[in-house]
Amino acid sequence: MKLSDALRAELAAAPRGTRCPEVFRAEGYRAHFGEPVALLRARGIETLFTKTPPHIYPSDRIAGSTAGLFCEPDETLRKASERLCAQIGGRSFITNRDHFAPDYDRILARGIPGLLADIDASLDAHREDAAACETLDAMRIALAAFRTMTEHYAEAADGLRGQPGYDAARLAFIAANCRAVAQHAPESFAEGLQLVWLCHTAFMLEDRYAMALGRLDQYLYPLYARDRASGALTREDAVELLENVFAKIPTTDVVNICVGGKNAAGVCEVNELSFCIVEAVRNCNAPGPNLSARITRDTPDEFLDACLASIGTGLGYPALMNDEVNIPALQRMGYAYEDVCGYCMVGCIENFLPGLQPPWSDGRFDAPRFFDYIFNRGVSAFNGSVGLDTGDPEALRDMPAFLRAFETQLSHGVAEYCTAFACQNSAIRQDFYTEPFLSCFCRDCIRRGKDINCGGSVYPSVHGAALMGVGTVADSLAAIERVVYEDHAATLSELRDALNADFEGYDALRERLLAAPKYGNNDDFVDKYAVWFLDYLSAEFDRFRTRDGGRIYVAMAANTSNIWAGETISATPDGRKRGKPLSDAASPTYGRDTRGATVTLNSVSKPDYTKAACGTVVNQKFSPSMFEGERRDKLRALVRTYFRRGGQEIQMNATSRAVLADAMEHPEQYPTLVVRVSGFSDYFVRLPRAVQLDILNRTQHE
Cis peptide bond prior to 318, omega within 30° of 0: yes
CA dist 270 and 157 (Å) reads: 35
Residue 166 · residue 57 · CB < 8 Å: no
**What's the 3-state SS for 484-498?**
HHHCCCCCHHHHHHH
What pLDDT, on a 0 to 100 scale, did the predictor assign at position 187? 98
In angstroms, rounded to a whole number, what is the distance separating the alpha carbons of residues 210 and 192? 21
Q: 3-state SS of 314-367?
A: HHCCCEEEEHHHHHHHHHCCCCCHHHHCCCEEECCCEEECCCCCCCCEEEEECH
Q: CA-CA distance, 701 to 597, in Å (whole number)?
A: 6
At residue 285, the pLDDT reads 86
Q: Are 363 and 643 in contact (CB under 8 A)?
A: no
| Residue 441, beta-bridge partner list | none
- Spatial distance between the Cα atoms of 519 and 587, rounded to a whole number of angstroms: 9
Q: How far is CA 481 from the centre of its chain?
A: 37
CA distance linking residue 670 with residue 663, whole number of Å: 6
Q: Which of 122, 116, 33, 194 is nearest to 437 (CA)?
A: 116
Positive or negative: CA dihedral 232, 238, 240, 244: positive
Peptide bond into 98 cis (omega under 30): no
C-alpha to C-alpha distance for 603 and 606, rounded to whole angstroms: 6
List Cβ neighbours of 432 (8 Å cut-off, separation of 6 or more): 37
Length of the chain: 702
Q: How far apart are CA 234 and CA 239, in angstroms?
A: 9
Outline where 160-220 has alpha helix (H).
168-183, 189-205, 216-219
Which stretches in the chain have pLDDT values below 70?
A: 1, 15, 679, 701-702
Alpha helix locations (H) across 14-92?
21-30, 37-51, 75-88
Amino acid letter, 273: L
3-class SS of residue 680:
coil
Q: Provide the residue type at 8 as one letter.
A: R
What CA–CA distance (Å, rounded) separates 463 from 546? Answer: 7
What is the full DSSP assignment across 528-540?
HHHHHHHHHHHHH
**Strand 256-260 relative to strand 18-19, pairing:** unpaired
Paired strand residues for 366? none
What one-character DSSP code corresponds to residue 62?
A: S
Tell me, rounded to whole angstroms, the distance of Cα 457 from its chain centroid. Answer: 20
Backbone angles phi, psi at 425, to 5 degrees: -70, -25
CA 106 – CA 119 distance, rounded (Å): 13
Q: Are strands 256-260 and 290-295 parallel, antiparallel or unpaired?
A: parallel
Distances from the Cα of 362 to the Cα of 458, 467, 512, 573, angstroms: 20, 11, 37, 28
Supply φ then ψ for residue 21, to 5 degrees: -60, -30
Sorted by sequence, the CB contacts under 8 Å of residue 241 that are 6+ apart come out as: 61, 62, 189, 190, 193
Residues 6+ positions from 587 with CB-CB distance below 8 Å: 471, 520, 593, 604, 617, 618, 619, 620, 698
**368, HSE (Cβ side, Cα atoms, 13 Å):** 36
Backbone φ, ψ for residue 105 (5° rounding): -55, -45
Cα–Cα distances (Å) from 233 to 72, 134, 239, 245, 282, in that order, read 41, 43, 10, 17, 21
Dist CA 54 CA 63 (whole Å): 9
List the Cα angle 5/11/12 in 5-degree steps: 90
Crossing angle of helices 507-515 and 470-479, in 10° steps, is: 110
Give pLDDT, residue 643. Answer: 97
Check if the beta carbon of residue 318 is closer than 8 Å to that of residue 293: yes
Closest CA to 88 of 140, 137, 131, 35: 35
Q: Give the 3-state DSSP-derived string for 259-321, with helices as H, strands as E and coil as C.
A: EECECCCCCECCCHHHHHHHHHHHHHCCCCCEEEEEECCCCCHHHHHHHHHHHHHHHCCCEEE
d(CA 675, CA 678): 9
